[in-house]
Amino acid sequence: PRDDNKKRKQAWHRILAALTLTAFTQANNEATDNSAIHHALCEAVNLARGTSKLREALKPATSAYDELIELNTSAASIEWQKMLQDHKTSNSADGIAKSVGVPKEHVNKRWTTNWGRWQTAANKLKSTSTTPDKVKNNALANLKEPAKSLATAAIRQAATTAANIMDKIESERQAATKYTAETAQEQIRKLVFGETSNGQTYDNSKVFKIPSNTRQTDCTDDAITVAATLVCVCAKDNAAALATPCFRGQLNTQAWNSGVSAPSPTLWNELIGHCPEARASAITATGLKALATRLRAMVKIISGNGYLGTLHSGTNCDGTQATAISTQYSAYTAAAPSRQGKIPWLDGLERIAAELANQETAIADSNTVVDQISRLRDEAYTIAEAYKLVSIQQAPTAGSPMLQTSDKQECATQKNSKTTCENAGKCKWKGNNETKGE
């Protein structure tokens, strides 16, 4: 019995080994083998054809800064304000030096950067009708000393700090404004449809590098766009074809008639018809990097070349079920430098992701300091209001020590006439007769 059990186990092991070998030696590429690639490429297509926005928006800084400049200018001397108002030459260092009457080397970048704003503020102050209400209400020019000097110094310091912050914002501006939603989407659109393409229409002559209409040739190093790659890995071939390489139930009334005709716009429309609906979405560095990383990881490296798609027998990307439904990238290896330029559209997605990451960081940094300018403006106006209250000399009220002292001094002058004393309304006559008081 033990020998029989042993023989039965050995028989089962042979059967399992045969089944395992069969499972790993399937005759052909199978349906939906390229579905993961299809879904990832669809994401890129949808970024190009949907309504997009960027995650971060740059906060405007000019409003708060201009209001602070207006307050600071109102505390400046009349001569300085008039000089700004009368300035007619250019806002270059030469023009400013001429107006101010100083050597050119004394005019620094802070002056040339802010001169236009200073002029605008000074011109607003020319008339009460154009002077901003917040400036008019504080009336720094009317403050009494030492309140005026103290307020002016504090506000000038706030304006100087704000100017330093504006310099930082300007230094970040190029990185913070690299892309708008429209320009980012346009860059992605070109990666999908080709550098010289227009709109979202499939044009075989623009999506492939040098199209020959022969599938194996065009899908080897010439699929330089997302659209070309999608066609190479998903289009049904006209011969020995796998009907559904990317999507079960794939609509495929059109085929790539290799060597005879190019893939048609109708074929393209059928392929992207299986993509999820293009919706409004945010183009973010994180999302774009994740997509590019996922696609990069799908590239198989075989014998010193890279392949995106399914391969069964051989590496000829002819689109047949028995061979390979893929794209090939020659000399693409595990070494990162070897990959540069081999998949231009994927390089492009990675580049945009990196630039968006820099932009999002620059925007976040700028927005933080923009909030600081708003706080400086609020603090400056609070200082002006506080010093205005300190400067106001209110009239003394009845019964106050100041008024009582004043009354005594006035009554002391009325000792020579009872009538004059009593007519003063605030003195009492205590004299022995009409002309001699106490």
DSSP collapsed to 3 states, 63-78: HHHHHHHHHHHHCCCH
Give the residue from 223, 230, 271, 267 showing the smallest Cα distance to 247: 271
Distance CA 248, CA 65 (A): 60
Residue 393 confidence (pLDDT) above 60: no
Q: Where are the alpha helices (DSSP H) in 235-343?
A: 265-272, 285-297, 336-339
Distance CA 133, CA 228 (A): 62
Helix (H) or strand (E) holding 136: helix 133-138
- Predicted local distance difference test score (pLDDT) of residue 253: 84
CA 198 to chain centre: 26
- Residue 384 sits at φ, ψ, to 5 deg, of -60, -45
- Predicted local distance difference test score (pLDDT) of residue 352: 97
Which range, of 54-58, 315-319, 409-413, averages the lowest pLDDT?
A: 409-413
- Predicted local distance difference test score (pLDDT) of residue 174: 86
- Predicted local distance difference test score (pLDDT) of residue 89: 74
Other beta carbons less than 10 A from residue 46's beta carbon: 19
Convert the pLDDT of each residue in 280-309 to its tens digit: 788 999 999 999 999 999 999 999 999 999
- Predicted confidence band of residue 399 (pLDDT cuts 50, 70, 90): very low
Average pLDDT over residues 329-347: 94
For residue 416 the two structure tokens come to 């020579």
311 sits in the region (left: phi over 0; alpha: psi -120 to 50; else beta) called beta
- Residue 331 sits at φ, ψ, to 5 deg, of 60, 30
- Predicted local distance difference test score (pLDDT) of residue 412: 58
Helix (H) or strand (E) holding 328: strand 324-329
Helices 285-297 and 344-391, axial angle in degrees (round to 10)? 160
- Predicted local distance difference test score (pLDDT) of residue 5: 65
For residue 425 the two structure tokens come to 């309304």
Which range, of 89-103, 347-361, 382-396, averages the lowest pLDDT?
A: 382-396
Other beta carbons less than 10 A from residue 372's beta carbon: 15
- Predicted local distance difference test score (pLDDT) of residue 36: 94
Cα–Cα distances (Å) from 193 to 180, 281, 309, 350, in that order, read 20, 19, 20, 17
Average pLDDT over residues 208-227: 96
Distance CA 182, CA 185 (A): 5
- Predicted local distance difference test score (pLDDT) of residue 102: 86
Instruction: Please state whether the predicted TM-score (pTM) of the whole model is above 0.75.
Output: no
Residue 404 confidence (pLDDT) above 50: no
- Predicted local distance difference test score (pLDDT) of residue 401: 46
Which range, of 3-7, 28-32, 65-69, 135-139, averages the lowest pLDDT?
A: 3-7
Distance CA 363, CA 173 (A): 8
Helix (H) or strand (E) holding 54: strand 52-54
Distance CA 282, CA 404 (A): 74
Distance CA 87, CA 257 (A): 73
Helices 93-100 and 109-124, axial angle in degrees (round to 10)? 60
Residue 57 confidence (pLDDT) above 70: yes
Distance CA 427, CA 413 (A): 10
- Predicted local distance difference test score (pLDDT) of residue 171: 86
Beta 305-311 vs 324-329: how paired, if at all?
A: antiparallel
- Residue 302 sits at φ, ψ, to 5 deg, of -130, 120
- Predicted local distance difference test score (pLDDT) of residue 413: 53
Amino acid occupying residue 154: A
Amino acid occupying residue 205: S
